[in-house]
Structure 1
Amino acid sequence: MKSIEQKVLKFIDDNCLIEKGDSILIALSGGPDSIFSLFFLNKYKKKFNVKLAAFHVNHKLRGKEADNDEEFCKKICSDLSIQFSSVKVNVRAYAKKNKISVEQAARKLRYDSLQKYADKHGFNKILTAHNLDDNAETILLNLFSGTGINGIAGIPIKRENIIRPVLCLSKKEIIQYLDKHKINYRIDSTNITDDYKRNFIRNNIVPLIKSKINSSFESALFRSSKIVEENLKLFETLVQRIIDKFIVIKKNEISIYLKILDEIDKEHLGQILKKIFTEKLKIEFSYKVHVALISLIEKQTGKKINLSNNYIALRERDKILIYKNQEKDKQQQILKIGQSVNFNGKEIHLEETKNFNGDFSSNGKVEFISGDKIEENFVLRCWKAGDKFIPLGMKNLKKVSDFLNEQKIPAKEKKTWPVLVNRNNIVWVVGLRIDDRYKIDSKTKKIIKLWTA
């Protein structure tokens, strides 16, 4: 049994999991894996020179049995003089509210609770007691769920401040150690049922693989998963370089410039998109979304698709724009001379003026029109199909849609671009051009100043 301890010590050293002076919070469920971790670290805490504490999350899924697990953990820690804390979470209610599985909800609440406690009480590392069997089950579960190459990498040995020092041991080795040293542990009764996907894999698929293909299946899969993980680190570096070069990330908006395809094939774009979706947008990147985004590249400017979490992907001239759908009220607003309004993110002002010296802004932000033949009330609205006006300096009507295209207005902005209307005529395509019929001439008596910010 000494060899098991040496195995863990070497694994910790090889992967630099623990440093002198660490404060480690152990996720203690009461099961054999976490109990082994507790006793092991308590035995070697002087060697590592670390501070230890244990934290138990009661998921309230098994009634009295769950409460007994919590009491068991509390007593064990009391006997070992290890600081103990616990929290109760309502997994079923959280799963229902967020429309996720009970397994997903339990994991989310467990890690959130651990991190919150660690941050509050100054623990720089969190220990979770995943073992070789857990890693194998996770890989199979990910493989059957189609999660891609990241899922095949299995459970990471360390991720940010989370460490897993018993990932080198099998469940069998851990139980043999505990039984030999007469250390008590709890068994979750739900583990023997097939109610959850992971349990079905554990109880049915893994035994078949071990009996028919490889009795050391878990160890073999662990070695393979770590090779994949190392290759992924290199791949992540290359992906980040591509992102830095071709992708602009802002709050609730991401621009993917199509020049990216000069360096990578469309078929390889998926991993980059997945990284952006999961890390920046915090939304799921499914194969269906992947196919839809790739097909959007081939479509004409202005085409869009709806994504989850109210995001939209829009094909623009030189990029795919992914943005949060935050369109404001598109209904028209009445605007009188002397008033200002905010419409679709633009501040628009109208006032009568006598201070006109013939100067106009070069960018269309400030304009002056003749107010001799207008009504008091203007209508401010988004342009719509069929709208026409006579751009200043021209003699013939032009479609607003064509004019906006000529001005190279991005498709996202074009859709809700405002126009100022009087007597059913477009007076001003806001911020761009006035109608020639409303220009100031030598006969103008009333001058209206228009400007936008």
Structure 2
Amino acid sequence: MIAKVKRTIQKYEMLQSGDRVILAVSGGPDSVVMAQILYLLKDDLGISLHIAHLNHRFRGKEAEEDARFVERLAQSLNLDYTSGSKNVPDFIDSRGLSAEEGARIVRYQFLNHVAKTVGAEKIALGHNANDQAETVMLHFLRGTGLRGLGGMKPTRGKIIRPLLEIKRREIESYCEENRLEYRIDSTNREFIYRRNKIRHQLLPTLEGYNPRIIHTLNRMAEVVRAESDYLIRDTDKSFKKIVSVKDEGLIEIGVHDFLSAHKALQRRLIRKCFARLTGSRKDLDFGHIERTRLLILKGGTGKRVDLPGNVSVVKSYDQAIFKKRGQKTEPIWYHTKVHIPGATTIFETGRELTAEVIPIEDLGEEYRNASENEAYMDMGKIELPLYARPRCHGDLFRPLGAPGRKKVKDYFIDRKVPLSKRKDSLILLDQKGIIWIAGFCIDDRVKIDDETREVLYIREPAIQPQGNLC
């Protein structure tokens, strides 16, 4: 069994020579065997060990006896030892958590604190193959995707699980053969916990259909984890391609690229956007994902779906916007004088404008094919100085070629410009009003005509194309 544990450590590259490892020891057979085997392997692996034990205060004197037992075990192995105590019942009551979830949160907080205090690189947990099978079934019964069917990962950050390929009966046999003492948690027999029902009722029943059910579930979990990891990498590539993270509270998905993605990838992108905003996938279920997916695929502009975690998804023309409800999305304010000629940097946003004055005889016909990030205007019709600022409520201008003036807001609506891009719009003004909406259109008042003698040429190198010059 020692060789089997070593193979698992090497297979998943759990440890490196020189690592200091926290052993999470509850006193049960799994953690006791893990401590004993890693103690026997420590010189071979070139690692040092530190035992940590947390009293969750669920079982009164029984839990106190567990702590004393683990302290004696650490002394017998001549290993450093840290103990802690936390009133988990009060913790879960104050936060409305289940006993299992609350205990897990507190336990990981404690173990990470110990690791940081002693400078440990890894935290070893005693989960075995039966625990893995139970976890997979637990996720299956709750309803899950590939992530849940993959069960517990052998390694995750600092966490390692050296016994994950060892069955419980192997651990119990090792204890008996080596006369190892251990503690029994009386709550492991209480059927108020779903995991205990799976352990003592469901899996024994399934063994009547498949005597190797523990092995089968573990093998399936390993296969699923590998395929899930592949899909995660594929999702990350697609996320970088079609998703734009504007700030901590605003994310956009390009609808056209989303439509071309496979349905499975669409769902993963939605989960990733949600997790990016909230920090987790907690409370996001299949129904939420499907409603969001259908909004992006078929919803009209202005339609929205509210998700857990105070997140809303709003359809805006060719964009789907994920945002925290109540998130302020007003543009950063600036009012910057534009140098003519020369370069002007808007320090608040990092944007830059360059301007020059060109005699009409040197212009040629290139202005007729101006790109979205440049403008050619009649210098004689402009009243200096010029200023750049964001769009303001009530802004009016006369689009090039239009019969009259209209609100900039209405111009954007007519052009089906997404809300987030409207927020980022840059307005260039002279002393009479707007002369250019960067990336979109000049004002008809400053157009070039037969009387033009000098042309003001302005461009914004960093702007993203939004439309054609009117």
Q: Same-fold call, TM > 0.5?
A: yes
Structure 2 residue 228 is matched with structure 1 residue 232? yes
**Per-residue deviation, 1:411:** 3.1
Q: Deviations over 1:404-427 (max 9, x none)?
A: 514755336879x9xxxxxxxxxx
**Per-residue deviation, 1:90:** 2.8
Tell me how far apart the structure 2 counterparts of residues 318 and 113 of structure 1 sit (CA, whole Å). Answer: 47
Picking from 186, 190, 194, the partner of 1:193 is 190
- State the SS of the aligned residue for 1:302: coil
Q: Deviations over 1:53-112 (max 9, x none)?
A: 011122111222222211211111112211110222232333334333221111122112
Given the superposition, is the C-alpha separation of residues 279 and 8 from structure 1 closer, same or farther in structure 2, using an over 3 Å criterion? Answer: farther
* Alignment correspondent of 2:71: 74
**Per-residue deviation, 1:234:** 1.9
Is the 2:249–2:327 contact (alpha carbons within 8 Å) kept by the matching residues of 1?
no
Q: Which amino acid aligns with 1:34?
A: S
Unpaired segments of 5 or more residues in structure 1?
329-342, 350-356, 367-379, 384-388, 418-427, 433-453
Instruction: Give the structure-2-normalised TM-score.
Output: 0.72
Q: Which amino acid aligns with 1:174?
A: I
Tell me how far apart the structure 2 counterparts of residues 391 and 238 of structure 1 sit (CA, whole Å). Answer: 45
**Per-residue deviation, 1:399:** 7.7
Structure 2 residue 147 is matched with structure 1 residue 150? yes
Name whichever of 261-270 and 14-23 sits farther off: 261-270
Structure 2 residue 287 is matched with structure 1 residue 291? no
- State the SS of the aligned residue for 1:183: coil
Structure 2 residue 306 is matched with structure 1 residue 281? no
Tell me how far apart the structure 1 counterparts of residues 259 and 70 of structure 2 sit (CA, whole Å). Answer: 57
* 1:307-318 equivalent positions in 2, closer than 5 A: 307-318=307-318
Is the 1:314–1:411 contact (alpha carbons within 8 Å) kept by the matching residues of 2?
no
Structure 2 residue 399 is matched with structure 1 residue 402? no
**Percent of pairs with identical residues:** 27
Picking from 173, 198, 217, the partner of 1:221 is 217
Tell me how far apart the structure 2 counterparts of residues 344 and 253 of structure 1 sit (CA, whole Å). Answer: 12
**Per-residue deviation, 1:187:** 0.8
Given the superposition, is the C-alpha separation of residues 248 and 327 from structure 1 closer, same or farther in structure 2, using an over 3 Å criterion? Answer: closer
Is the 1:253–1:323 contact (alpha carbons within 8 Å) kept by the matching residues of 2?
yes
Q: Which amino acid aligns with 1:309?
A: G
Q: Which amino acid aligns with 2:286?
A: Y
Picking from 126, 130, 134, the partner of 1:129 is 126
Is the 1:126–1:161 contact (alpha carbons within 8 Å) kept by the matching residues of 2?
yes
Is the 2:333–2:390 contact (alpha carbons within 8 Å) kept by the matching residues of 1?
no
Given the superposition, is the C-alpha separation of residues 316 and 203 from structure 1 closer, same or farther in structure 2, using an over 3 Å criterion? Answer: same
**Per-residue deviation, 1:391:** 5.5
Given the superposition, is the C-alpha separation of residues 322 and 407 from structure 1 closer, same or farther in structure 2, using an over 3 Å criterion? Answer: same
Is the 1:30–1:69 contact (alpha carbons within 8 Å) kept by the matching residues of 2?
yes
Q: Deviations over 1:387-438 (max 9, x none)?
A: xx976699989688635514755336879x9xxxxxxxxxx99x98xxxxxx
Q: How many residues align?
A: 380
Structure 2 residue 87 is matched with structure 1 residue 93? no
Instruction: Give the structure-1-normalised TM-score.
Output: 0.75
Q: Deviations over 1:339-359 (max 9, x none)?
A: xxxx9566599xxxxxxx933
Picking from 175, 184, 193, the partner of 2:181 is 184
- State the SS of the aligned residue for 1:309: coil
Is the 1:301–1:411 contact (alpha carbons within 8 Å) kept by the matching residues of 2?
no
* Alignment correspondent of 1:248: 244
**Per-residue deviation, 1:279:** 5.4
* Alignment correspondent of 1:411: 419
**Per-residue deviation, 1:170:** 1.0
Q: Which amino acid aligns with 2:150?
A: A
- State the SS of the aligned residue for 2:305: strand
Structure 2 residue 297 is matched with structure 1 residue 300? no
* 1:3-402 equivalent positions in 2, closer than 5 A: 4-210=1-207, 212-249=208-245, 250-261=247-258, 263-278=260-275, 281-284=278-281, 285-297=284-296, 298-327=298-327, 347=333, 358-359=383-384, 361=386, 402=410
Tell me how far apart the structure 2 counterparts of residues 364 and 163 of structure 1 sit (CA, whole Å). Answer: 54
Q: Which amino acid aligns with 1:224?
A: M
Given the superposition, is the C-alpha separation of residues 345 and 65 from structure 1 closer, same or farther in structure 2, using an over 3 Å criterion? Answer: farther
Tell me how far apart the structure 2 counterparts of residues 42 and 327 of structure 1 sit (CA, whole Å). Answer: 52
Q: Deviations over 1:322-346 (max 9, x none)?
A: 1122356xxxxxxxxxxxxxx9566
RMSD value over aligned CA atoms?
3.2
Given the superposition, is the C-alpha separation of residues 313 and 93 from structure 1 closer, same or farther in structure 2, using an over 3 Å criterion? Answer: farther
Q: Which amino acid aligns with 1:35?
A: V
Q: Deviations over 1:311-330 (max 9, x none)?
A: 221112222111122356xx
Given the superposition, is the C-alpha separation of residues 92 and 260 from structure 1 closer, same or farther in structure 2, using an over 3 Å criterion? Answer: farther
